Structure 1
Amino acid sequence: MAEEVTVVGHNKTPASGDLTVYVDGKIINRFESFSISHSMDVVPISFSLQYGLSEGVNDNMLIKKLKKTNSDKNGILPVGKKVRIYLEKELVITGYIDSTTEAYSHDSHTLSIEGRSKTSVLVDSSTDKPTGTLPTNLVTLYDIADYMFSCFKIKTEDLSGNKAPKHKLAEYAQIDLTTKPYDYVSMLSQFEGKLLYDDGRGYMIINDVASKASDTALTDKNSKFENIMVHRTTLGRYRKYRFVINSYGGPAGWGSLIDDVVSSDQNPDDLPFNKNITLVSTSGYPEDGNTDGYRMFTQDLANYTASVNWGRGQTVTALASGFIDPTTKKIWKINTLVHFNYKKPYIKGDYVVQSVTFFIDQFGGKKTELTFVKKESLIIEPVTLAPPIDGVNTKELAEAEQPPNAKENK
C-alpha cells in the first residue's frame, strides 16, 4: 500500500536529497516517479510527477491533511499551482502545473501531474507588440528579447561573448498579429548564430555554442552509461539549400527580380544525386535599401539550416546512471561541450549536450537520457559554402550537380 502524500517543509526549508519539489511554497514528497526534460531546441522545460495514493484516500481528504485554507476542489495538486523542482540541490525548473490525472484500477490509485516552465507563456501566447518592423532603438539581440519577453514577466540574460549584433535586426524581421514571442526571437537568434533556451529559474538565455570541454574526456570506463548508440542518417539533409528571397515591397525594379542564395551540405557525396531543396525567405526588405545586408541576412539562414541538418544527421544518445556528469561532477546540462574518446562504439571528437531528461521510478532508480550533437551542427558557418548566385540560374545549379561522366555520356 502506498503511503500518503505529505508536506515535509516550506519555502525556507533548503532543498536536499535527489529530488525536492515545492508546490505553492510547500515541499511535497511521496513521489513514485518523475521526469524532467530540457532541450536546446524546445522551450519550455517540461516535467511530470506521479504519486501513489493509499487505498481509500481521495483528493478532498488530502486537501484536509495538507491543511488547505482555500476551497479548491480540483485536487491535491490543482492546475495552475506554481512549482519549483530541485535535483541534487540545484534548481532545474520554475513553472506551473498544466494538467492532472487521477486514476483508479483494481489495485492502484495514482495521481499524475504534468507541467512546464513559466517560459511556456512565450510559446503559447501571441505578442501584443505593434505590427511591422521593430523600433530602431532596439539594436542587440538582448534588446529585442527583453522587448518581446518582459511584458510576460520573463527575464532575459545574454551570456554570449560577443554582444554586438551582426545584422540590423530591427529592420529585417516583421511582426504580425499572430507572431509568437519565442518563435520570433528564436529566428533572429539563428541569424546571429546564437542559442536561445530557458533555464531552471524560468529565464531566457542567449548564449554561444559551448566552446571549452572539460579536461576529462568521456570514455568507455568513466561515462557510467548503461547503453550508448550512434545514429547516422541522410534524412532531412540536402546537397544544396537554395533560399529564394521574397522581395515584394522593395524599391522599384527590385520586386521584378527573384534573388537567391545557396548553401551546401558538408558531405554532399553521402546524398543522392540532385537531392536539393528550395525554400523562401520572407524577411522584410530593409528600409535603408541595403541589399547586400539583406542578402547576408538570408545567407546566414541558409548556412544555419545546412549546418544544423548535417549535424543532426549524426547524433549520439545515451542512458546514464544517476544525474551527474562525470566530467564536471555536476548534474548534466544542455550546451555543455563533451570530448568523446570511445572505442565501442567508436566516437571521437567534440559533441554538445543537446537535450537532457532526468527520471526516476521505484524500480529503475535514477537515470538520465542524453542526446549529443556535433558541435559543428550549431555553428552558423558550414565547412563547405557555395557562393551567392545573382538571380535564379537553374542551369548553373543543374550543371553543378552533373555526375563526373555526364559529358562523356552525351
Structure 2
Amino acid sequence: MKESANLNEVSILVDGQVYKGWKSARIECGIEQISRAFALSVTDDFPGNESFRRLRPGQEVQLFIGNDVVCTGYITSTPIRYDAKSVSVQVQGKSKTVDLVDCCSPWAAIAPSGKAAGQKSDSWQDVKGVKETVKPVQPAKTVNKSWHNQTAKQIIADLCAPYDIKVVCEVKDLNAKLVNFTVNPGEKVFESINRLLTKENLIVTDNAYGDLVITEPGFAGKCTDFLEVGKNILSGSANFDFSQRYSKYVVLGQHKGSDLEFGKKVCQDQGISEDRGVPRHRLFVLKDTGQSSNAIASNRAEFENNLRRAKCKISSHRAQGWRQLSGDLWRMNSEVVIEDNILMMKESQLVYKVTYSLDSSGSFTDIESLPKDGYSRKGYSNKTATNGKKDSLKDSWKDVK
C-alpha cells in the first residue's frame, strides 16, 4: 500500500511504480454497474512524458485517492493524442469484475487450463486487499456445468473463480437451495449471475478491491454530511421522468408439478402489484424464468413496481471535493440526507452512483440518489397511497373540455 501526504491526490500503482500528476480524472462507481471505471489524462509539452507512455492495456492497476483504494483492476486502453505543441496521454481502466461482464463462463465449454477451479493465481499477491469484515465465499475445487442443491452464493463463487475474482456476500439470508442450475453455452458470466439472483432482488456490484459484492441497499452506512442547497451543493438536477412507470405490474411464471399440484396450479403462477400513483391504465407484463410460484411472482411484481417508482425520482447533486468533513470519501450504496428546496426534497436518499471528477476547475463529486426504498426487498412504503391519494398526478380528465 502506497502512502500519500495529499488526501486528494489521484495516483495509480502499476508494476510497483506510482504514476501521479494527472491533470484530469473521472472515476465512476454505481450500484447498478458491476465494474467501476476510470479515465485519467495528462498533457505535457512535446515530446511528452515517456514514463506515462510506458503504460499498456492489460496491466494490473490499483487507483488511489490519497491513501484510499478506489479501484483494483486492469488498464483497458491508453489513447494518445498529439499536435505540434503537446502530447495528451490518457489511461482508462476498469475493475477486475469487467471480465464477468465481457467473458463467458468456461464451465459451459472448457475447464480452466493450468489450474483447478477456484485456485487463485499469484499475479495479485503484492496488491493490498480489503480488511475482510465479511468472509469471501470459497469456490468449489471441481469443475461443474450444473449444480444441484447448492446455494446461489456458492454457485456464483464457482462462476467467478476462473477469473480470480472473490465473491463477498453481505446478505445474511441468501441460503436458499437451488434444485438445478446450468450455465447456458455462450452465456456471459454476469448473465448467469443475473439469472441466479433475479428472484432474490439483490444488488450485485463491485468494491474497491475488484471483488464481486452481493449486497443490500444502504449497506455502506450513513453519510456524516448532509447535502444542502446553499451550503455544499453546487448544482442539482432531476428529470422526474414517469415514462417507465405503470399502473399495474403482472409477473407470470410456472413451476414443476407434483402428485398434489398439477395442471393450472403449476402453469399459471401470477403476481400483481399496483401503483396508485399512476392514474391511467398502463400495464406491464413480465415473464418469470425458471421455477416460480405465486409468492415469487408477487415479490417480483412488487420489486419492479418499487424500483420504477424510485427511479423516476433520481436526482443528481454536485458537491465540491471528494470527501465529507469527516475525511471519508462520498460512497455509493450509502444513505445521505438531502435538503433541496428547489427540487422539493428533504429526506434520506440512497446513493445510487458517485462520480469523482478532476479538471482545471477543481475536484467535484457528482452524487446520484433515489428513494432508499427503491431496492427494498420488503416493499416500497408509500405514505401518500395509504390514505387513497394519488401522488403528484391528476386524478382524472374531469376538468378537460
After TM superposition, the score normalised by the length of structure 1 is 0.75
- The answer for the alignment partner of 1:323 in structure 2 is 322
Quote the offset at 1:258 in angstroms.
4.5
**Is contact 1:145-1:156 (8 Å) kept?**
yes
1:276 aligns with 2:275: no
- The answer for the alignment partner of 2:70 in structure 1 is 92
Distance across 1 between alignment mates of 2:17 and 2:264? 61
| Aligned partner of 2:34 among 27, 34, 43 | 43
Of stretches 187-196 and 207-216 in structure 1, the one that deviates more from structure 2 is: 207-216
Q: Deviation per CA, 1:295-354, whole angstroms, max 9, x where unpaired?
A: 33333322222211111011110111100134x541011110112233333212221000
Q: Deviation per CA, 1:239-279, whole angstroms, max 9, x where unpaired?
A: 112222266x866964897514233354x3435x2211222
1:370 aligns with 2:371: no
* Alpha-carbon distance change, 78 to 217 in structure 1, aligned in 2, over 3 angstroms: closer
Unaligned residue ranges in structure 1 (runs of 5+): 1-11, 67-74, 286-292, 386-402, 406-410
Report the residue type matching 1:377 in the other structure: G
The answer to which structure has the higher helix fraction is: 1
Quote the offset at 1:187 in angstroms.
4.2
Distance across 2 between alignment mates of 1:298 and 1:137? 22
Secondary structure of residue in 1 paired with 2:54: coil
Secondary structure of residue in 2 paired with 1:113: strand
Quote the offset at 1:49 in angstroms.
1.1
- The answer for the alignment partner of 1:147 in structure 2 is 158
**Is contact 1:240-1:262 (8 Å) kept?**
no
| Aligned partner of 2:20 among 25, 29, 54 | 29
Quote the offset at 1:221 in angstroms.
4.7
Report the residue type matching 1:352 in the other structure: L
Distance across 2 between alignment mates of 1:376 and 1:209? 8
Distance across 2 between alignment mates of 1:86 and 1:240? 46
- The answer for the alignment partner of 1:14 in structure 2 is 3
Distance across 2 between alignment mates of 1:106 and 1:20? 28
Distance across 2 between alignment mates of 1:205 and 1:263? 30
Distance across 1 between alignment mates of 2:317 and 2:369? 8
Distance across 1 between alignment mates of 2:77 and 2:254? 42
| Aligned partner of 1:200 among 197, 200, 208 | 208
Q: Deviation per CA, 1:191-215, whole angstroms, max 9, x where unpaired?
A: 2243211011001112221176357
- The answer for the alignment partner of 1:115 in structure 2 is 93
Distance across 2 between alignment mates of 1:245 and 1:172? 17
Unaligned residue ranges in structure 2 (runs of 5+): 110-143, 383-394
* Alpha-carbon distance change, 130 to 298 in structure 1, aligned in 2, over 3 angstroms: farther
Distance across 2 between alignment mates of 1:33 and 1:80? 22
Of stretches 230-239 and 346-355 in structure 1, the one that deviates more from structure 2 is: 230-239
1:135 aligns with 2:135: no
* Alpha-carbon distance change, 312 to 374 in structure 1, aligned in 2, over 3 angstroms: same
- The answer for the alignment partner of 2:118 in structure 1 is none
Distance across 1 between alignment mates of 2:266 and 2:149? 31
The count of corresponding residues between Structure 1 and Structure 2 is 347
- The answer for the alignment partner of 1:157 in structure 2 is 168
Distance across 1 between alignment mates of 2:253 and 2:209? 39
Distance across 2 between alignment mates of 1:51 and 1:163? 47
* Alpha-carbon distance change, 159 to 107 in structure 1, aligned in 2, over 3 angstroms: same
**Is contact 1:336-1:353 (8 Å) kept?**
yes
In the TM superposition, 1:3-402 aligns within 5 A as: 13-17=2-6, 18=8, 19-57=10-48, 62=50, 75-130=53-108, 134-139=146-151, 141-160=152-171, 162-165=172-175, 167-168=176-177, 170-171=178-179, 174-210=182-218, 213-214=222-223, 217-222=226-231, 224-245=232-253, 254=263, 258-266=267-275, 268-271=276-279, 273-283=280-290, 285=291, 294-326=293-325, 329-361=327-359, 363-383=360-380
Secondary structure of residue in 1 paired with 2:314: strand
Distance across 1 between alignment mates of 2:88 and 2:210? 29
Of stretches 23-32 and 44-53 in structure 1, the one that deviates more from structure 2 is: 23-32
Quote the offset at 1:370 in angstroms.
1.2
Q: Which is greater in Rg?
A: 1
* Alpha-carbon distance change, 384 to 47 in structure 1, aligned in 2, over 3 angstroms: closer
**Is contact 1:210-1:335 (8 Å) kept?**
yes
**Is contact 2:39-2:93 (8 Å) kept?**
yes
Distance across 1 between alignment mates of 2:84 and 2:225? 51
Distance across 1 between alignment mates of 2:95 and 2:193? 18
**Is contact 2:227-2:233 (8 Å) kept?**
no
Distance across 2 between alignment mates of 1:30 and 1:383? 46
* Alpha-carbon distance change, 38 to 303 in structure 1, aligned in 2, over 3 angstroms: same
